[in-house]
A and B are shown apart, each in its own frame.
Chain A
Amino acid sequence: DGGITQSPKYLFRKEGQNVTLSCEQNLNHDAMYWYRQDPGQGLRLIYYSQIVNDFQKGDIAEGYSVSREKKESFPLTVTSAQKNPTAFYLCASSMGSLQETQYFGPGTRLLVL
């Protein structure tokens, strides 16, 4: 079955620690996205990538980093510079053209110890 997988489902971060969230897709989509979802605030774009080896900052990129070395993978690192990382993180992908919609993974919930 084609789809987007995210791991882990839950992640715990200690103070000062960097953590990496995994996102993999087998939909052959060109574009991939990372969103953060906080209660009552909807989805906020962190980073997006339209092609391999290229990515752009979204609205709330500070304290996060990404890489896009393979078409199928778009990992997100939450660095120690992100002072309020507790949230639900969603990865999405799309064909990248204007008429294609985004498909979302199941999400990763990040909690701070």
Chain B
Amino acid sequence: QKEVEQDPGPLSVPEGAIVSLNCTYSNSAFQYFMWYRQYSRKGPELLMYTYSSGNKEDGRFTAQVDKSSKYISLFIRDSQPSDSATYLCAMSSAGGGSYIPTFGRGTSLIVHP
């Protein structure tokens, strides 16, 4: 079992839909949770960063962390064709004195007009 599981998709939705992207993990030491967006043939860009459990909202994006279930989510409201990209979750623990995140495989999202 991988430390971080993420369905690769593709997930295809109509414009305006609410999108839910998810990751599960097995390492209970993870405390820092990130979502990156990666357009085709580009480097990932940081979308959301959350520490420990709870929700964080930024515009149309909401990140949720449920540490009891080892489950994190990214919600996109009013999805747009420009949101079509691969979304990578990443997480890390506070141990070891270094910051090395573990990445999910990424979910490919297609928002069609």
Interface size class of A (residues with CB under 8 A): 20 to 34
Q: Which of B13-21, B36-44, B60-68, B76-84 is the interface stretch?
A: B36-44
Residues of A within 8 A of B (CB): 4, 6, 31, 33, 40-43, 45, 48, 50, 58, 88, 90, 94, 96-107, 109
Chain B stretch 67-110: residues in CB contact (< 8 A) with chain A: 88, 90, 92, 94, 98-101, 103-106
CA–CA, A100 to B41, complex, Å? Answer: 25
B46 at the interface (CB under 8 A from A): yes
Measured CB to CB, the closest approach of chain A to B72, in angstroms, equals: 15
Partner of A105, one of B43, B88, B98, B106: B43
Residues of B within 8 A of A (CB): 6, 8, 32, 34, 36, 41-46, 49, 51, 88, 90, 92, 94, 98-101, 103-106
Can you list 19 pairs linking A and B with CB atoms under 8 Å apart?
A: A42-B103, A42-B105, A42-B106, A43-B44, A43-B103, A50-B98, A94-B99, A99-B32, A99-B51, A101-B34, A101-B49, A102-B90, A102-B99, A102-B101, A104-B43, A104-B45, A105-B43, A107-B41, A109-B41
CA–CA, A58 to B101, complex, Å? Answer: 12
Known pairs A98-B94, A109-B41 / 16 extra A-B pairs, C-beta < 8 Å: A6-B43, A31-B99, A33-B100, A42-B88, A42-B104, A42-B106, A43-B88, A43-B103, A90-B44, A101-B34, A101-B49, A102-B46, A102-B90, A102-B101, A104-B43, A104-B44
